Amino acid sequence: MNMDEIRYTKQVLSLPDDYEGPVIATLIRCVGQQRASRAILYLHGYVDYFFQTHMAESFVREGWNFYALDLRKYGRSLLPHQHAYYCRNLSEYFPEIDQAIEQIVADGNQDITLLGHSTGGLIASLYAASGKRRQAVDRLVLNSPFFAFNTGWFKRTVAMPVVAWLSRLWPYGSMRNELSPLYWDSVHRSAKGEWDFDPQLKPQTGVPLYFAWLGAIRRGHRRLHRGLHLSIPVLVMHSDRSTYARQWGEEFTCSDAVLNVEDIARYAWCLGNRVTDVTIEGGLHDLVLSRREVREKVFKVMFEWITEQELLKINHQSDYDGIDKTDIPNW
């Protein structure tokens, strides 16, 4: 399939007003000329938006329809009156996921894989546990999901609860964001990377870290750590190492500069009993932005795992259809 056969469309999803006023989300479609009935729905991370067109087109070439959401107050969905990246509860994002799934089903797709990166991975996991349209999600794929704060014991167990409490008194209270600008350098073409995303939509610095957002993430983590008991299969992918360097070095080209990969592996098992945990050697935080040979492995892992799970689903359905239903007790 050549590039001329792949097309993008954008749909603005109107959502109920929230505490800041009008709200929208943006659904991007990437489809090929060949009709497909299976789909990927992608959720981006924090201070992020969908720009990974090479990922979308790779899925389309392999026979999937690809959809991506710019969540409310992110990227294409940020409105002038809104505080960027702000939320008070991660379930605030569920209505746009509901609408996206409804549109994907209306488009004729019969199989849906929910794919989430970083904070999008945490949101996707929580949605799979309690979202309104969760029954339409056949499986989860998580790219470096945000399963724990990458901080020391004191901040995680003492400071975070205090900040979460303060958010109730001071909803827009914030502090300096400690995200390393060196990760941004490692991926943007103007610095050390190879990707040309919009720095207005994914800025390097200057993003306030809202207490309310921290409280929402903390509650999401606590819910995950208690166990989500998902019945669907889940693929969790992460790098083989993290880096905490404060100055640029080669490690920023081959490690996760945002999260602790050991935390990802540790808490992956809180999702359910059908989890496949895959370590990607030399991967960046956003694995699909890693150097070519690494991201090609990431795509290979995703394509093969999803295809295998699709076949298992078909075989399971065929086995069920072959059962004589009259032999099943009607309890």
Spell out the domain ranges in the chain: 3-150+228-318
Give the three-class secondary structure for 277. Answer: strand
Distance CA 279, CA 300 (A): 13
The amino acid occupying position 222 is R
The per-residue pLDDT for 325 is 41
Query: What is the β-pairing status of strands 6-18 and 21-32?
Result: antiparallel
> Number of helices (H) and strands (E), helices first, in the chain?
9, 10
Task: Specify the CATH number of the domain 3-150+228-318.
Answer: 3.40.50.1820
User: Taking the chain, what is the end-to-end CA distance rounded to the nearest angstrom?
Assistant: 51
Q: Three-state SS for 275?
A: strand
Residue 331: the pLDDT is: 32
- d(C-alpha 213, C-alpha 85), whole Å: 8
Edge-to-edge order in the sheet of strand 111-117: 6-18, 21-32, 65-70, 38-43, 111-117, 139-143, 234-239, 275-280
**CA 277 vs CA 137, 141, 148, 264, 274: distances in Å:** 19, 10, 16, 9, 10
Per residue in 203-235, pLDDT tens? 998 899 999 999 999 999 999 999 999 999 999
Q: Which residues of the chain have pLDDT under 50?
A: 323, 325-331
pLDDT digits (tens, 9 = 90+) for 83-124: 999 999 999 999 999 999 999 999 999 999 999 999 999 999
d(CA 309, CA 287): 21
What are residue 42's DSSP bridge partners?
A: 68, 115
| pLDDT at residue number 310 | 93
Which residue blocks in the chain are alpha helix, DSSP H? Answer: 53-61, 94-106, 119-130, 153-154, 160-169, 181-187, 211-225, 261-268, 292-321
**Which pair of structure tokens corresponds to residue 218?**
């903390």
